[in-house]
Chains A and B, each alone.
Chain A
Amino acid sequence: MTSWAVDSAFAVFAVAAVVTGFLVFRTDSMVRASFWLLASFVNVGLILVLLNARFLGFSVVLMMAGEMSVMAIFMVMLMMNPAGLNPMTMVHQHRASVAAGVTAFLALAGVGIVVDFPDDPARQDPAQVTAELGVEELGDSMLVFQTAGAALLATMIGGIAVTSRRGRYGTADEGSVPPPLDPPDAESAL
């Protein structure tokens, strides 16, 4: 892609990421907040694609779609706000948060301006980038990652198998309700 196209695309994605990130805290519904956050992550993923780290970029989109869905589920499940359609304030301690955020932004912006980053255009073959990334991140510890991954997967499968159909009082397709107070076998005192 030509340089001006890449630069303008970067500018669009960057501004969109910041704006949607800001909207996470300005919206009045938890589901909308989750999806604004997803939009912010998608824009970051697209910036990664521009940086020629395409595997990372597409993976970010893939992962975040699932993760923001899980976040929406949990937020609605655990909060009083029914399905996120009742307006509510989404923030607390916002003065301290705003101060911390502005400070962090200034610090990172300072780093971004002062540090001398390399400015070679990302021209390597994307497949080679992925291979090098894999070797760099996992290379020596491949066996550890495989074992940990398999253990995590087994835990997930076990957790789902244990909790999915079975509630405290039985499976949902047989009707899981608490047992009645008087046990069915009790003889009535006559």
Chain B
Amino acid sequence: MTALLFAGVAVGAALSAGVLTAAVFDAAVGATVARTAGGPRGVLLTPLRRAAVVAVQRRTTTERPDARAWALAPALLLGLAAVMLTVVPVAPGVAVADVPHGVVLFGAAAATVLIPVFLQGWSPNSAFPLLGGYRMFAQGLSSMIPFALVLIAAALPAESLAIGDIVASQQGLWNVVRTPLGLPVYLATAPALAFWQPFSGPAGSDLAGGVELEASGPHLLAWRCAQYGVLVGMSAVGAAVFLGGWAGPALPGPVWVVLKTLFLVFVLVVARHLVARVRMERFVVGAWVVLLPAALADVFITGWWLL
């Protein structure tokens, strides 16, 4: 029981820290790209201030929404972000849930992200959020298979589906080299599953906010934190599976895990501010015709290398 409590606190703390760091990165990179004046204090405080404004607003309602499903959506997304963080190993044998099938659990959590995003779009009984929800279905279903395939390709050298074993198998050579197409395909499909710009069709500005259009107040705050949380979770697992997790000279293992996770978060945040949104039909065709064969090729290349 105390182990469960400790695990919960650890995951909560990691999630909060990750969300805050991702928000600060976002503000910092945004300010740099926009050439906005403002020192480091401004960059640190702005996400907190913006979160406070959203928290102070009251929740609005639309006509005949599905209130329960609408309330469930951010809670479910937050829960999935927490599940993603539980499978990340910070040291050999140390993870909140180093289950022997960590990759499959992570894949299940990532696939289930479709559900709260669609519910957030369908429940308000409003046209543009519904379009955003359907875009998420198209985007998520198209990117799920390449996403899962590159994770499996990374699991091949380890001969195990446990993320801790995958990290341990990278002692000599990181997977980013051994499975060369893995990290690029992962970085193309993971933000699509997290509806992160440049795959932000579900919450896009051409839908005036998409699934987030009708949300306000603490509901919106929980939603945005959950999206950052999913981003951090995917970066953490990507760092473990492709960048060698806790492996690294000089610094202790957990510090390397944090640094590599933050590196991937930084890459995704920079992509958000510098890459235009990918249009839906092009993304669907691209995912099935380009990314999926690339992921398959990744599996074959890894297998050939092992033989």
Contact = CB atoms under 8 A, between A and B. Distances in A.
In the complex they form, whether A and B have CB atoms below 8 Å apart is answered with yes
A157 interface: yes
Main secondary structure of the interface of A (DSSP, over half): helix
Interface in A72-93: 72-73, 83-85
B209 to A, nearest CB: 19
A10 B134 CA distance: 35
A70 B66 CA distance: 20
B192 to A, nearest CB: 14
A31 B122 contact: yes
Interface of B: 64, 66, 69, 99-101, 104-105, 107-108, 111-112, 114-115, 118-119, 122, 125, 130, 134, 137, 140-142, 144, 148, 160-162, 279, 281-282, 284-285, 288-289, 292-293, 296
Contacts of A153: 292, 296
Given A54-B100, A62-B108, A157 B285 contact: no
Interface stretch (A11-19, A98-106, A160-168, A177-185): A160-168
B115 A58 contact: no
Contacts of A164: 281, 284-285, 288
20 contacts: A55-B104, A55-B161, A59-B104, A61-B112, A62-B104, A62-B148, A65-B114, A65-B115, A66-B144, A69-B137, A69-B141, A70-B141, A127-B162, A130-B161, A153-B296, A160-B142, A160-B284, A164-B284, A164-B285, A173-B279
A38 interface: yes
Interface residues of A, number: 35
B101 A54 contact: yes
A97 interface: no
Nearest to B99: A54
Main secondary structure of the interface of B (DSSP, over half): helix
B134 A130 contact: no
Nearest to A84: B122
Contacts of A68: 115
A129 to B, nearest CB: 9
A56 to B, nearest CB: 9
A85 B125 contact: yes
Most chain A beta-carbon contacts within 10 A, residue among B64, B118, B119, B296: B118
Contacts of B142: 160
Interface string A45-71: 000000000110011011001101110
